[in-house]
Each structure stands twice: as structure tokens, then as C-alpha cells.
Amino acid sequence: MSIGPCCSFYKPASIVIEDRVSIAPKVAIIKNPNLNNQDSVCVIKSGAFIGAGTKIYHGITVGENSIIGAGSVVENDIPPRCVAVGAPAKVIKYILDT
């Protein structure tokens, strides 16, 4: 796992970061304004890459081997093996097994 400089992980939240995850600089895991239960778990699955400056709301799961583009705002769960970008983050491509 690698976590870049200036990342922010705000309470209250449980955060699970699995194996082989890369988190670029200035990523923030923040309160979800649309969720009443701020005690929810944020999960970043194995092999995921989170681009610089991304914001991820509490309660979100980023799927295994997914890529989140720089500057994205992740408001919903991201499925495994895909590329998601934008604000809010949308899946633009699925990564096929080789």
C-alpha cells in the first residue's frame, strides 16, 4: 500500500484499505452530506488506485482493481475493475481480464 502526502481521513468513519492499494497525494475521505449515518465504513478494495485530489465520501466502496481519476468526487460505490472519473465520479470504462 502507498499513500501520498497531504491525504486527509476525517472522523467519524471506519476506513478499510486492503492490499496493493495506491492513494495519490491530496486524497480526502470526507463526510457524506447525503448520509445520516456517518459511522459507515469506507472500503478501498485490493489493487485500487485513487488519483490525486480525489474526494471519497464515507460509506463508499471502491471495487477491486478499479482506478479513480484525479480530482474525482466519489459519491457512489464503484464496481470492481473499472475506471471512474468526474464530479460526481462515473464509470467510463471496464477493465477486462487478460
Cα 3 to Cα 75: distance, rounded to the nearest angstrom: 21
84: confidence class by pLDDT, cuts 50, 70, 90 = very high
Residue 87: HSE in the Cβ half-sphere, 13 Å Cα cutoff: 7
Q: Is the pLDDT of residue 76 over 90?
A: yes
Is 69 or 14 the better-scoring residue by pLDDT?
69
Q: Domain 2-94: what homologous superfamily?
A: Hexapeptide repeat proteins (2.160.10.10)
3-state secondary structure of 55: strand
* pLDDT tens-digit map of 30-68: 887 776 665 678 899 999 999 999 999 988 999 999 999
Cα 38 to Cα 51: distance, rounded to the nearest angstrom: 24
- The per-residue pLDDT for 13 is 62
